[in-house]
A = this chain, B = another copy of it.
């Protein structure tokens, strides 16, 4: 059976799960959970996978769930969805809008919303699992459905790997992931090579010598030191990185001193780095460390600077072969609705799983915007202003054809390997 025929056969069941899947989506959307707190979501996922005959592992890392459906000999395909929501107060006005509040990482209660569409990812992957489980004669091999926590904290994938993921699943031939974005619903977009940027934050603490504001000569002024560093860091992108390479180095936060007439004894800078190449990222980190240390030396700083990285998102660098295979399967199934999309400035921890498993991967874009709204806004050059993007309190993908397309995409892509 060709992959295309297998896809037709498996997707035969799509109509039968539609109502269940839409209800599931609305339920997930109305009950969002912050990272590492996705116990309700994980419970629903695990129960469903178990009922479909998957071997199910719960609490992988923190709240991660892995379902393994072995269906004879053949390749192994792992598809991943992320489950966590964001501390955002929903403003969509939808009937199934969230009113949930929870305690965030800083101990404060915050509103919670699926403002990044992870509910779509969960509903689609669970739908695909149901279709794959219901049409076992059409394929052969192993289908792994992985639901990870805390993507927004850049922690969930790492925790699952640290929690022994490699012992729970066979080594995949391909790892698949998708993200609902503001492309027209009904479309899927692939991209070979670097797709989502590498993102990293860095907290730099530099030390001065405090003094009264009227006695600068007794101080090592941390305000001047911090300013010189911020100024100097501009040269990393302007002079050190190949102008053909994408690189962003942002100083998002500067904190120096407490009042006007006291020269403080340290400064804190919080940096964010973006790149589409690990080599570029390494050059930036090396340049930052060199510059910060040198500016401290220029100031006569009494103590070594400190560097702390956090919010580490690896580069999502789609394997060309895997991507080509998925793109071909998409074109065959979706026709013109299968597109090629450009790289995105967003970041993901998705690739941590395939990297840990030594498996090639691809990650694609799933359209979620009402096609009419998209077309109309695009014609007026108003996409950025009229279509609420991911993380917006008004982010609201249309339920259909988003869910159907996202479900079919997982099935079609998986069958590019698993078709009997």
Contact = CB atoms under 8 A, between A and B. Distances in A.
A420 B299 CA distance: 59
Interface stretch (A117-125, A228-236, A350-358): A228-236
Interface stretch (A92-100, A107-115, A241-249): A241-249
Interface residues of A, number: 71
B253 A214 contact: no
A258 B248 CA distance: 18
Contacts of A234: 224, 231, 234-235, 238-239
A252 B223 contact: yes
A103 to B, nearest CB: 19
Given A201-B260, A238-B236, A261-B199, A214 B250 contact: yes
A223 to B, nearest CB: 4
Interface in A215-235: 215-217, 219, 221, 223-224, 226-232, 234-235
A287 to B, nearest CB: 8
Contact of A216 (B243, B260, B261): B243
A221 B251 CA distance: 9
A344 to B, nearest CB: 9
* Residue of A203, A224, A261, A346 ringed by the most chain B CB atoms within 10 A: A261
Contacts of A201: 259-261
A17 interface: no
Contacts of A53: none
A254 interface: yes
> Main secondary structure on chain A at its contact with chain B?
mixed
Contacts of A340: none
Interface string A258-271: 11111110010011
Contacts of A252: 213, 223, 257-264
Interface stretch (A69-77, A164-172, A179-187, A290-298): A290-298
Contact of A254 (B217, B257, B272, B295): B257
Given A224-B235, A226-B227, A294-B294, A260 B254 contact: no
A267 B227 CA distance: 12
Contacts of A254: 223, 226-227, 254-257, 267
Contacts of A214: 197, 199, 243, 248, 250, 272, 274, 345-347
A243 B252 CA distance: 17
A12 interface: no
A227 B253 CA distance: 11
A311 interface: yes
Given A250-B214, A252-B262, A290-B298, A230 B239 contact: no
Contact of A272 (B260, B293, B347): B260
B260 A202 contact: yes
A349 B329 CA distance: 46
Nearest to A203: B260
A320 interface: no
A135 interface: no
A239 B256 contact: no
Contacts of A297: 290, 293-294, 297
A269 to B, nearest CB: 8
A216 B238 contact: yes
Contacts of A251: 221, 223-224, 227, 256-257
A261 B257 contact: no
Contacts of A13: none
Given A227-B251, A254-B267, 19 more contacts: A199-B214, A213-B248, A219-B239, A221-B239, A223-B253, A226-B227, A227-B227, A227-B228, A228-B231, A232-B298, A237-B238, A243-B247, A243-B248, A253-B257, A253-B259, A257-B270, A260-B311, A261-B311, A293-B297
12 contacts: A201-B260, A213-B250, A215-B248, A217-B243, A221-B239, A221-B251, A227-B230, A243-B248, A251-B256, A252-B258, A252-B264, A287-B300
Q: Which 3 A-B pairs have the closest CB atoms?
A: A294-B298, A227-B230, A260-B270
